[in-house]
């Protein structure tokens, strides 16, 4: 149980929560309820939650605006092994990776108790819908007040649709850097108080994408499992991206 100030480590210019998996859901719940400090300059009292892996750092190195968005996040956690590796190489050791799918059901259970309303935005057509159906079957009291795929053309219509649903929390699953930039650009337009970038979470919740076997996750090779699932889309990110990330870390030592 984390009490008081959240322990953090600065890794490649980004402040990351130094938490274990069994701590993170409670910390996020406390932040939503009013603990911690909103670091966005756009709107008071609104919270932004981000995760990072090697790909996020690679994007941040070449995109200062994106890096600034991550730096101003209310809460940032380490999803992949990249940040863990980098933190240890740079003397800022993070305890372990904290992928969102590993703690999201615990968080949703807390959301049921708190009666929070949630909106799902992102994924391909029907993915958020299927994720919503699965969640409603598993967590019957969870208040999901709306959903929409992430390939919309009219942003104003989406903002209007979200505001009509009036969620407390909006989960944005569009992948980096689109999801973080969408949050940054729309935080002052959307009525929600909490904006949470969740990547491919809806693919997992809908059953569209399988997680790697636990032994692969524990060894830090979930990226390899994803690469096998989607080689055409991900080969450049993981094969070239991991090498670029390694050189970035070595250069910063």
Average pLDDT over residues 80-96: 95
Q: How far apart are CA 228 and CA 231, in angstroms?
A: 6
Q: What pLDDT score does 34 carry?
A: 81
Whether 234 is covered by a domain: the verdict is no
Instruction: Please report which confidence band the pLDDT of residue 43 belongs to, taking 50, 70 and 90 as the band edges.
Output: very low
Q: What pLDDT score does 2 carry?
A: 59
Q: How does pLDDT run across 96-148, given as a tens digit for each residue?
A: 999 999 999 999 999 999 999 999 999 999 999 999 999 999 999 999 999 99
Range of the domain at 119: 8-206
Which residue(s) pair with 51 in the sheet? 77
DSSP string, the chain: ---SSPPEEEETTEEEE---HHHHHHHHHHHHTT-S----SSSTT-EEEEEE-HHHHHHHHH-HHHHHHHHT-SEEEE-SHHHHHHHHHTT--------HHHHHHHHHHHHHHHT-EEEEEESSTTHHHHHHHHHHHH-TT-EEEEEE-S--S-HHHHHHHHHHH--SEEEEES-TTHHHHHHHHHTTTS--SEEEE-TTHHHHHHTSSPPPPHHHHHTT-HHHHHHHHSHHHHHIIIIIHHHHHHHHHHHH-
Whether 245 is covered by a domain: the verdict is no
Q: How does pLDDT run across 205-237, given as a tens digit for each residue?
A: 999 988 888 888 888 888 888 888 888 888 888
Whether 199 is covered by a domain: the verdict is yes
Whether 17 is covered by a domain: the verdict is yes
Q: What pLDDT score does 3 carry?
A: 57
Whether 237 is covered by a domain: the verdict is no
**pTM of whole model > 0.95?**
no
Q: How does pLDDT run across 137-170, given as a tens digit for each residue?
A: 999 999 999 999 999 999 999 999 999 999 999 9
Whether 229 is covered by a domain: the verdict is no
Has residue 39 got a pLDDT over 50? no
Whether 253 is covered by a domain: the verdict is no
DSSP string, 167-187: -SEEEEES-TTHHHHHHHHHT
Q: How far apart are CA 4 and CA 1, in angstroms?
A: 10
Domain count for the chain:
1
Can you say how many angstroms the Cα of residue 93 is from the centroid of all Cα atoms in its chain?
21
Whether 39 is covered by a domain: the verdict is yes
Average pLDDT of the chain, as a whole number: 93
């Amino acid at each position: 149980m984390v009490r008081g100030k959240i322990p953090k480590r600065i890794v490649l210019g980004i402040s990351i929560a130094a938490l274990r998996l069994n701590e993170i859901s409670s910390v996020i719940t406390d932040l939503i309820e009013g603990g911690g400090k909103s670091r966005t300059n756009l709107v008071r009292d609104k919270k932004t939650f981000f995760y990072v892996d090697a790909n996020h750092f690679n994007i941040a190195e070449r995109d200062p605006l994106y890096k600034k968005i991550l730096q101003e996040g209310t809460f940032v956690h380490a999803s992949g092994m990249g940040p863990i590796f980098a933190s240890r190489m740079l003397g800022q050791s993070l305890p372990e990776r904290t992928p969102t799918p590993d703690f999201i059901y615990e968080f949703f259970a807390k959301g049921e108790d708190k009666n929070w309303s949630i909106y799902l935005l992102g994924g391909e057509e029907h993915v958020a819908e299927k994720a919503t159906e699965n969640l409603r079957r598993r967590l019957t009291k969870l208040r999901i007040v709306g959903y929409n795929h992430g390939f919309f053309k009219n942003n104003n219509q989406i903002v209007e649709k979200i505001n009509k649903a009036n969620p407390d929390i909006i989960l944005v699953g569009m992948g980096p850097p689109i999801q973080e930039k969408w949050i940054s650009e729309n935080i002052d337009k959307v009525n929600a108080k909490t904006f949470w970038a969740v990547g491919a979470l809806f693919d997992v919740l809908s059953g569209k994408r399988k997680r790697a076997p636990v032994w692969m996750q524990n060894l830090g090779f979930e990226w390899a499992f994803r690469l096998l699932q989607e080689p055409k889309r991900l080969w450049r990110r993981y094969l070239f991206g991991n090498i670029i990330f390694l050189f970035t870390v070595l250069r910063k030592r």
